[in-house]
Amino acid sequence: MHYISILKTNPQDMFSLHGKSALITGGASGIGLAICNLFHQQGAVVHILDQNKEKAEEKASALGQNAHAHAIDVTDQTAVRNLITSIAQQHTIDIVVNSAGISHIGTVENTSEEDFDKVMKVNVKGVYNLIHCTIPYMVEKQNGVILNLCSVAGSVGLADRFVYGVSKGAILTLTLSVAKDYVKKGIRCNCISPGRVHTPFVDGFLKKNYPGKEQEMFEKLAATQPIGRMANPEEVANLALFLCSDEASFITGTDYPIDGGFIRLNN
């Protein structure tokens, strides 16, 4: 019987990512940006992958050394493969965080085929593309961590979020499948399911869909979580750091709700 200890001799070394390289999609804003900031603070070489080139470069420049910006459309597998090949020539691929995603309002009846395909392409195919193109490097060194951003919508039905919920349900299953297929190859795969998180996306969503009633709708959405407020991106990033650190080395194939009690306490 073998006992593996990961006890750090210096408590300050806990949750350290020194010597590791992390790729974060959707890394130029919201939850993805919060993860980039925290991972960089903890010593990782951070690769900000985002479709917005200017914003990605701005955020990487603000972080300084060991932060790199990459403009990418996660739905384009050829572009993703070329980018990963380029990154792998200079850095190890230790951590992949799939944070890029889009939302949609609608039921199955009023969700158009075009919108269905668009959400599934970004939220599901985009995650598949990143894992498909990065996991060979992890298999080669028999080590790696994959973290997918899921949602409470992947576990419970949300009104008027049909295709978004479908896409996040797919991510939950994708996470379990990858974890099972690669557990013997030293690769861990988990996902996080946030409830509502106050990001610039939320502010833009309210402005677009509820003009003049932004504050009223914000309070209404916040109140759906038993804890009485939305999360902030940094709280989600804290959980991401734990799951991607050596301190979580015994955790794989698991979904972690971070939802202010939304799933369990709203019954």
Residue 6 maps to a domain: no
Do residues 46 and 22 make contact, with C-beta atoms less than 8 angstroms apart?
Answer: yes
Do residues 241 and 42 make contact, with C-beta atoms less than 8 angstroms apart?
Answer: yes
Q: What is the mean pLDDT of residues 105-129?
A: 97
Reading the block at residue 153, the tokens are: 């919508």
Q: Do 188 and 204 belong together in one domain?
A: no
Residue 116 maps to a domain: yes
What pLDDT, on the 0 to 100 scale, is given for residue 201? 82
Question: Whole-prediction pTM value?
Answer: 0.94
What pLDDT, on the 0 to 100 scale, is given for residue 1? 46
Q: Do 223 and 102 belong together in one domain?
A: no
Q: Do 141 and 46 belong together in one domain?
A: yes
Q: Do 158 and 73 belong together in one domain?
A: yes
* Of the candidates 253, 258, 260, 240, the residue with the CA atom closest to the CA atom of residue 182: 253
Residue 1 maps to a domain: no
Q: Do 246 and 123 belong together in one domain?
A: yes
**pLDDT (tens digit, 9 = 90+) per residue, 66-99?**
999 999 999 999 999 999 999 999 999 999 999 9
- Residue with the larger pLDDT of the pair 224 and 54: 54
Q: Do 72 and 21 belong together in one domain?
A: yes
- Per-residue pLDDT at 5 exceeds 70: no
Q: Do 190 and 136 belong together in one domain?
A: yes
- Per-residue pLDDT at 255 exceeds 60: yes
Q: Do 207 and 82 belong together in one domain?
A: no
Pairing status of strand 67-71 against strand 45-50: parallel
CB hemisphere CA count around 2 (13 angstroms): 1
What pLDDT, on the 0 to 100 scale, is given for residue 209? 81
Domain count, the chain: 2
Residue 3 maps to a domain: no
- Per-residue pLDDT at 3 exceeds 60: no
**pLDDT (tens digit, 9 = 90+) per residue, 119-171?**
999 999 999 999 999 999 999 999 999 999 999 999 998 999 999 999 999 99
> d(Cα 248, Cα 178) in Å, to the nearest integer?
17
Do residues 265 and 200 make contact, with C-beta atoms less than 8 angstroms apart?
Answer: no
Residue 54 maps to a domain: yes
How many CB atoms lie under 10 A from the CB of residue 188?
24
* Of the candidates 25, 18, 11, the residue with the CA atom closest to the CA atom of residue 40: 18
Query: Known catalytic residue: 164?
Result: yes
CA-based angle 208:170:182, to the nearest 5?
135
What pLDDT, on the 0 to 100 scale, is given for residue 12? 74
Q: Do 74 and 202 belong together in one domain?
A: no
Q: Do 175 and 190 belong together in one domain?
A: yes
Reading the block at residue 63, the tokens are: 């972080």
Sheet holding 45-50, edge to edge: 67-71, 45-50, 21-25, 95-98, 144-149, 187-194, 255-258
Among 3, 128, 137, 164, the active-site one is 164
Q: Do 191 and 63 belong together in one domain?
A: yes
**pLDDT (tens digit, 9 = 90+) per residue, 194-247?**
999 999 888 888 888 889 999 999 999 899 899 999 999 999 999 999 999 999
For 228, residues 6+ apart whose C-beta sits below 8 A from its C-beta are 222, 260
What pLDDT, on the 0 to 100 scale, is given for residue 121? 98
For 12, residues 6+ apart whose C-beta sits below 8 A from its C-beta are none
Q: Do 125 and 221 belong together in one domain?
A: no
Q: Which domain holds residue 117?
A: 16-195+232-262
What pLDDT, on the 0 to 100 scale, is given for residue 2? 53
For position 44, which CATH number holds? 3.40.50.720
Residue 5 maps to a domain: no
**pLDDT (tens digit, 9 = 90+) per residue, 31-50?**
999 999 999 999 999 999 99
DSSP one-letter code for 247:
G
